Amino acid sequence: MNEQTKQTIENLVNNNKCVLFMKGTPDNPQCGFSSNTVGILKQLVGNEFASSNVLENQEIREGIKEYGNWPTIPQLYIDGELVGGNDIVTEMFNTGELQTMLGLQQPERTPAKITISNKAQENIKVGTENMGNNVLKLSVDSQFNTRFSIEEPKSYEIVSEVGDIKIYMDVGTAKRAEGISIDWVEDLQGAGLVINNPNQPKPVNQLSCADLKTGIDEGKYQHIYDVRSEPQFLAQTIPGAKRLDKANMQLIETLPKETPLVFICTSGATSQGACDFFHKKGFTDVSNLVGGVLAYHI
């Protein structure tokens, strides 16, 4: 590692309370491990942490491995000290050690209240009767992807009990799983558990042109974004719409998650991708204009 690279790393580590060396950026992680670590930090400190995209600088990418004698990315530093990679950060988040390092309160450890139908309980017991010393674990990630697995128990897990069934989960899952109901369904596609999670954000709304116009008149839709190129945007758009450029993407990140967002394009196809992107980031009132600009001006 050359001296310039070392100095760059030292400046980042020593001049920021919390800095993450990662693949991609906090708004656009380029690997699952970086994405998970970013998600944990955002839960704790929002956007109040520094980051370095190692994919943009090969010398930093290799240098940070040498600097901390740590072979993988991401790497988290707090108060100038290496915390570790994704696995260690995740475990420390669940035990509360990470919160302590950041001067935050300990995580809530109240077990999630779960409802399981009798039929689902019967089938869960059948499926777990030979798991030995392993336990039934429920995972609900930040995108509300949900899965059951049979794993070795960890010391930090929270346990919800329904009758004779014990369900183990991490801190994040316990919060996202509060109030879920589990049923057993048999249909033409097969049989299996069905989980209803009331905490999951509602799907992207398909907004009609008439409803958009009404919402604009009523002052509901004040954040309308055109995802097309600048020439297309300048040629024709919708009154009050802004182009979804880098500055406006950063602006959206600062808005409350319940802010109504509307995305538009020429016909309503490309804008769906922008809707999905911000919906996955936790925005709960996201709409795609059906038919796009063409339909609006008919």
Q: What structural domains does the chain harbor?
A: 3-101 (3.40.30.10), 115-196 (2.60.300.12), 205-296 (3.40.250.10)
Rounded to an integer, what distance in angstroms lies between the CA atom of residue 77 and that of residue 186?
A: 49
Rounded to an integer, what distance in angstroms lies between the CA atom of residue 104 and that of residue 34?
A: 22
Residue 156's identity, in one-letter code, is Y
**Per DSSP, what are the bridge partners of residue 165?**
162
Residue 94's identity, in one-letter code, is N
* Structure tokens that stand for 113 in this block: 């209240």
- b/e map 101-134, b = 16+ CB within 10 Å: bbeeeebeeeebebebeeebbebbeeeeeeeeee
Rounded to an integer, what distance in angstroms lies between the CA atom of residue 156 and that of residue 106?
A: 13
Q: What is the largest CA-CA distance in the chain?
A: 66
Q: What is the pLDDT along the chain (298 residues), one digit of tens a residue?
A: 789 999 999 999 999 999 999 999 998 899 999 999 999 999 899 889 999 999 999 999 999 999 999 999 999 999 999 999 999 999 999 999 999 999 999 999 999 999 999 999 999 999 999 999 999 999 998 778 899 999 999 989 999 999 999 999 999 999 999 999 999 998 777 889 999 999 887 789 999 999 999 999 999 999 999 999 999 999 999 999 999 999 999 999 899 989 999 999 999 999 999 998 898 788 889 999 999 999 998 8
The structure tokens 């030979």 sit at 130
Q: Is the pTM of this model over 0.85?
A: no
Residues 6 or more apart whose Cβ sits within 8 Å of residue 14: 80
